[in-house]
Amino acid sequence: MDSEPKVNSDPRRSLPSVDRLTADVGSLRPELAEWAVVRAAREELELVRILIARGESQFRGEPGDLDDLVARVALVAERLAAPHPRPVLNATGVLLHTNLGRAPLAESAASAVARSLDGYSNLELDLATGRRGSRMGSLEAKLLALSGAEAAHVVNNNAAAVLLALNTLALGKEVVVSRGELVEIGGSFRVPAIMERAGVRLAEIGTTNRTHLRDYEAAIGPDTGLLLKVHRSNFEQRGFVAEADVAELAGLARERDVPFVEDLGSGTLLDLGAYGLPTEAFAPGRLSLGVDVICFSGDKLLGGPQAGILLGKREMIEAMKKNPLARALRVDKLTVAALDATLDLMLEEGRSNEIPAVAGLRAGASELEPRAARLLELVSNVVSNRGGAGWKVRIAQSDAAVGGGSLPEHRLPGWAVVVEGGPVQALADRLRAVTNPILARVREDALWLDVRTLRDRDLDRIAEGVGEALASLDE
């Protein structure tokens, strides 16, 4: 009979302690923040334990295993301690890229934010009287000048604007909305869920693809709080579809004495119809059709900071300002400064193109081609200087979505520099890790660097990044 004690061969017993692993990483990378190393060590050790239990890890406590673990912890710690968010170069061509912060601010708006941080400001002080003032006063005046609305209010995003409007105008009542407009927006947030939190009851009408004016007429009753129209944001319906005309809906709402609210999602205060933008994006145009209250995002087509803008009838907007929720949803001084400066550019003749999103929407293919030609020259030189092993660079016509859930069927034609002939996806991955991270599109076995979302000052940095990424691939 074998009397030798059995040895527990569970490799989890070979894992180092958090203290030892932290010390090993500190010796290898002393510049890393200690808090980040400790957290990374705990996360990686727990991950290895889980993988061992599943039989998916080959960790046996050998020197090589420990070296790999130390390297992984160092990498995770570096990511944890990195500043966030970091500036990136957007070469995707998508103007309002949700993952990249949507609309970049105009230089004057960014400067206004910096000034608001440098010491104190008169955020809620009337300098003329020395008494308490309104943080919204200047914003409201400029919004009214641009839109022609009776009143305006600003909250921290468009979902907050919808929430405040519903809770103020229809608390405890029914809100009539088409089934075809009960959409899900980014981050899995659904319009019906927002309505529920607003304290209203949903009254669905019509079908997914067809809703008529008579459906609204039949739904209005003693418990109706308001009629709601919602822009579908990131998709469009085609084929056998129908929806009620906005002007007719506004007339019905007046006739039945119920408020009519429209959630535009993305709206602009500039008439960009000449550049192919659909009329429903022009906020003043919607008000002229008789809508009582409209709301839209500040960081989409408007080109400003994240905000929810409410425009409409004075008595309704004033009621929203008095709602206790308005305090919870109000914007901070950074948003006020950025939005105020953005509106200034719209009000001053000839300056609206200083807003990057507006300039990007207006830029035609003929304007973008010279920029693409310059980038082609720069990138070609980088590839050539590195020997160019298999890589080819060319210029091509391109098109991209507007992005950010705005104008889903609207494409923006332009130009791009195309890099192909090598491991394209690996190159795209390396571009995200260069000194100035670059986001590009990969399609048709090629890397596309779209110049619509690049400024002239970005071109040299794009070329430098491509060279850095190619060098990394060589290694």
Segment 18-65, tens digit of pLDDT: 999 999 999 999 999 999 999 999 999 999 888 888 887 777 666 677
What pLDDT is recorded for position 1? 43
Q: How far apart are CA 25 and CA 276, in angstroms?
A: 56
Convert the pLDDT of each residue in 337-392 to its tens digit: 999 999 999 999 999 999 999 999 999 888 999 999 999 999 999 998 876 668 99
What ranges in 403-458 are assigned the alpha helix state H?
A: 424-431
Both tokens assigned to 113: 């934010």
Q: How far apart are CA 295 and CA 289, in angstroms?
A: 15
Q: How far apart are CA 213 and CA 155, in angstroms?
A: 31
Per the CB < 8 A criterion, the answer to whether 277 and 269 are in contact is no
Q: How far apart are CA 282 and CA 89, in angstroms?
A: 29
Q: Which amino acid is at 10?
A: D
Q: How far apart are CA 11 and CA 8, in angstroms?
A: 9
User: Residue 353 gets which letter from DSSP?
Assistant: G
Q: Which residues pair with 175 in a beta bridge?
A: 202, 226
**234 band by pLDDT with thresholds 50, 70 and 90:** low
Q: Residue written as tokens 């075809």?
A: 180
User: Other C-beta atoms within 10 Å of 310: how many?
Assistant: 27
From the list 262, 270, 328, 268, the residue with the least C-alpha distance to 295 is: 262
User: Residue 374 gets which letter from DSSP?
Assistant: H
**Does residue 229 carry a pLDDT above 70?**
yes
Please give the radius of gyration of the chain, using alpha carbons only, rounded to the nearest integer: 28
Q: How far apart are CA 467 and CA 384, in angstroms?
A: 10
Return the SS3 of 190: strand
Please list the residue range(s) of the chain that carry CATH number 3.90.1150.180: 89-98+362-474
Q: Which amino acid is at 186?
A: G
What pLDDT is recorded for position 185? 64
**176 band by pLDDT with thresholds 50, 70 and 90:** very high
CA distances from 59 to 6, 11, 65, 70, 71 (A): 21, 7, 6, 13, 14
| Mean per-residue pLDDT, 62-87 | 88
| Mean per-residue pLDDT, 231-238 | 66
Both tokens assigned to 196: 């529920």
Count of alpha carbons within 13 angstroms of residue 472, beta-carbon side: 17
Per the CB < 8 A criterion, the answer to whether 16 and 24 are in contact is yes
Task: Provide the percentage of residues in the chain whose pLDDT is more than 70.
Answer: 93
**Does residue 111 carry a pLDDT above 70?**
yes
Q: Which residues pair with 400 in a beta bridge?
A: 412
Please list the residue range(s) of the chain that carry CATH number 3.40.640.10: 105-354
Length of the chain equals 475
**Does residue 416 carry a pLDDT above 70?**
yes
Q: How far apart are CA 74 and CA 93, in angstroms?
A: 34
Return the SS3 of 357: helix
Q: Which amino acid is at 104?
A: P
Q: Residue written as tokens 């009329």?
A: 279
Both tokens assigned to 359: 């300039």
Question: Of the ranges 7-11, 252-256, 306-310, 424-428, which one carries the lowest mean pLDDT score?
Answer: 7-11
What one-character-per-residue DSSP string does 280-334 give?
Answer: GGBHHHHHHTT-SEEEEESSSTT-SSS-EEEEE-HHHHHHHHHSTHHHHT---HH
Q: How far apart are CA 327 and CA 101, in angstroms?
A: 25
Q: How far apart are CA 221 and CA 51, in angstroms?
A: 60
Q: How far apart are CA 175 and CA 261, in angstroms?
A: 10
Return the SS3 of 87: coil
What pLDDT is recorded for position 448? 97
Look at 347 and 411; give whichever has higher pLDDT. 347
**208 band by pLDDT with thresholds 50, 70 and 90:** confident
Question: Of the ranges 157-171, 269-283, 306-320, which one carries the lowest mean pLDDT score?
Answer: 269-283
Convert the pLDDT of each residue in 458-473 to its tens digit: 999 999 999 999 998 8
Q: Residue written as tokens 């406590």?
A: 61
Look at 437 and 53; give whichever has higher pLDDT. 437
What pLDDT is recorded for position 240? 67
CA distances from 115 to 119, 338, 342, 469 (A): 8, 10, 15, 36
Both tokens assigned to 161: 């604007």
User: Residue 453 gets which letter from DSSP?
Assistant: G
From the list 384, 356, 380, 381, the residue with the least C-alpha distance to 456 is: 356
Q: How far apart are CA 329 and CA 260, in angstroms?
A: 22
Per the CB < 8 A criterion, the answer to whether 49 and 15 are in contact is yes
Return the SS3 of 135: coil
Architecture of domain 89-98+362-474: Alpha-Beta Complex (3.90)
Q: How far apart are CA 461 and CA 380, in angstroms?
A: 14
**Does residue 184 carry a pLDDT above 80?**
no
Convert the pLDDT of each residue in 243-290 to its tens digit: 788 999 999 999 999 999 999 989 999 998 888 788 888 999 999 999
Question: Of the ranges 133-137, 189-193, 262-266, which one carries the lowest mean pLDDT score?
Answer: 189-193
User: Residue 80 gets which letter from DSSP?
Assistant: H
CATH number of this structure's domain 105-354 = 3.40.640.10
Q: Which residues pair with 174 in a beta bridge?
A: 201, 224
Mean pLDDT of the chain: 90
CA distances from 61 to 15, 58, 64 (A): 6, 9, 8
